[in-house]
Chain A
Amino acid sequence: MKSGELGKTFQDGEIIIHQNDVGECMFVIQSGQVEIFQNKNKREVRLATLKSGDFFGEMAIFDHEVRSASVRALGEVRVLTVDKKNFLKRVHEDPSLAYHIVQTMSQRIRHLDAQNTRIKAADRRNWDKRPEVYNGRN
């Protein structure tokens, strides 16, 4: 770690967030990359890769649910934590502080909407192409 770096360094493969843990902070990537994944039926499903400047774990700031996914370092990565209590206190003083996070969350919802639409369209195509035997006509 260089002398002028902020945050904490995680090595390749190290878990930064465990799915289902209780979260009290969000993270901002200072350098490097992380991957976000969920464990579903004992299999890992990669949801996204984030890079320097991106943040993750923000849902723990706004709701009282456990972490929805795990986050792992992809190579050496350095992250800075933003404490829930300090952050929310500042947001109450200056609501516009949340703008950047809301803007990014809005972009992520758009991305998810597009992904959802693609999946539903593919499902529909598969349904239309289904063999007659499944169509109850044979």
Chain B
Amino acid sequence: MHKNAGSDFLVHKLTATERKSVRSKTLGNGSRVAVIGGGPAGSFFSYFLLDLAQRIDMHIQVEIYEPRDFFTPGPKGCNMCGGIISESLVQTLAAEGIPLPSGVIQRGIDSYLLHTDTGSVRIETPLNEKRIGAVHRGAGPKDSEGTKWGGFDGYLQILAIEKGAQLHQTRVEDVTFSDGYPTLRSSNGQTKSYDLLAITSGVNTNTLKIFQNLNIGYDPPKTTRTLIREYYLGQKNVDDFIGTSMHVFLLDIPRIKFAALIPKEDYVTLCLLGDDLDETTLQIFLNCPQVRQCFPPDFDLQNSCKCLPRMVTKGSSQPYADRMIFIGDCGVSRLYKDGIGAAYRCAKAAATACIFEGISKDDFKQYYWPFCKSMHRDNKFGKLVFAVTHLLRKRLFTRRAVTRMVLSEQNKEGKHRIMSTVLWDMFTGSASYKDIFLLTLQPIFLISFFQHIISALWNGTIYNNSMR
């Protein structure tokens, strides 16, 4: 219904100034923009590009190329991701006037449950409010009744189309330059030139090879494999065993950097991040009693929808060229966390540069690259934070110290709950890695953590405040 609802774009008889603006490397009335990839980065970019243009009465045409149908359940319509809308993105979208309706949000999350082999502790959201959204990226896992809900990517695509974007449900086969303009050849045989090409295809695609062969200086991001599984539990079991908490595991299992169970309405998504994860690692994880207790006793953990998507570990060092800009995962993203939030921020920075500054390589270097660089810098702090977490996970007494410290903070005022805040910000992706790192350097935090380490060396109690 929405697919052909594109813009009622007014084709102007261009004035001399407008023609100049189109010929030069800026966007103006009559400009045409192609977006390769209709996931969050592509939809956000299209939405904000049109929104900013409309604010200054500029008429541009935006065409999204996305072969997948996000309204079909299963792999064909899925973007392979854990599906968490972070606390900061939920609030930011609310301030933007972009609602996240129930149906798209599969479950509102109000707390995190940290599981270690020394016990489990709950960390609540500020104000006891559901501030994190769990979503299905597509129309749901394979064999699901897809009509029951709306996928997040499909919802954003509809927003972009309602803003005026046109959707071509076709694959881009090749990109060349014609008279200095990027020219697309799609799988339906059509060839079309554009003033600007935005690449938002993510990293789980062969499309990026086209741009490596173009010799424009683009280098694709470095990636690692992650492991995602979706288990059907039914709503009652999800309510009873997982609830409205995201379950995070701090267990000493080699190669796993982060492990979480994310509750949806009827499903639970298992998300494992780490280095070269394989089936053996997965089985070790699934056999942990801390993981088994999150499922009904007789539940078959082998029966699930599964995928091994790639995740960015280091962004591109030049995500732009003349009339070309790489947004989201195929440009830069946050390390391990809040990929959708990173896509939003990246898309908005790109749209602002394109509308107000220009679309040449130099314009992007001056106005888009600083944003990318800041994300690169923050990811370096992220690597440091994950390295420290890795060390804490390796020793029993440090795992116990973390659990004890979070428990001891539960009755304190917000500003004195530093370990809880550090873990909260890390799990939710709500704060920058730099902010998290600086928080851990506070003397009061270091003294308190040291005291809990000493205490944990002498006391081996198992803790539990995970009651819902």
Assess whether A4 is in contact with B95, with CB atoms less than 8 Å apart.
no
Assess whether B94 is in contact with A28, with CB atoms less than 8 Å apart.
yes
Q: Count how many chain A residues have C-beta atoms less than 8 Å from C-beta atoms of the other chain.
A: 28
User: How distant is A99 from chain B, measured CB to nearest CB, in Å?
Assistant: 7
Assess whether A90 is in contact with B102, with CB atoms less than 8 Å apart.
no
Chain A residues with Cβ below 8 Å from B131 are: 6-7, 80-81
Segment of B70-78, B104-112, B273-281 in the binding face:
B104-112
**Known contacts A4-B265, A82-B95, A96 near B349 by CB under 8 Å:** no
User: How distant is B90 from chain A, measured CB to nearest CB, in Å?
Assistant: 6
Segment of B122-130, B319-327, B389-397 in the binding face:
B122-130
Most interface-central of B95, B102, B349 (chain A CB within 10 A): B95
Assess whether A96 is in contact with B107, with CB atoms less than 8 Å apart.
no
Verify if B235 is at the interface (C-beta below 8 Å from A): yes
User: How distant is B431 from chain A, measured CB to nearest CB, in Å?
Assistant: 9
**Known contacts A3-B107, A5-B105, A6-B131, A97 near B95 by CB under 8 Å:** yes
Give the residue of A1, A6, A87 whose beta carbon is less than 8 angstroms from that of B90.
A6
CA distance A7 to B96 in the complex (A): 16
Q: Mark B124-162, 1 if CB is under 8 A from A, else 0.
A: 001111110100000000000000010000000000000
Verify if B103 is at the interface (C-beta below 8 Å from A): yes
Verify if A30 is at the interface (C-beta below 8 Å from B): yes
Give the residue of A1, A5, A30, A90 whose beta carbon is less than 8 angstroms from that of B88.
A90
CA distance A28 to B131 in the complex (A): 12
User: How distant is B256 from chain A, measured CB to nearest CB, in Å?
Assistant: 28
Verify if A86 is at the interface (C-beta below 8 Å from B): yes
Give the residue of A7, A55, A90, A101 whose beta carbon is less than 8 angstroms from that of B108.
A7
Chain B residues with Cβ below 8 Å from A94 are: 345, 348-349, 352
**CB pairs A–B below 8 angstroms (26 shown):** A1-B130, A3-B102, A3-B239, A4-B108, A5-B102, A5-B105, A6-B90, A6-B100, A6-B102, A6-B131, A8-B130, A28-B94, A30-B99, A53-B97, A80-B91, A80-B94, A82-B95, A86-B88, A87-B95, A90-B92, A93-B345, A94-B349, A97-B96, A98-B95, A99-B55, A100-B96
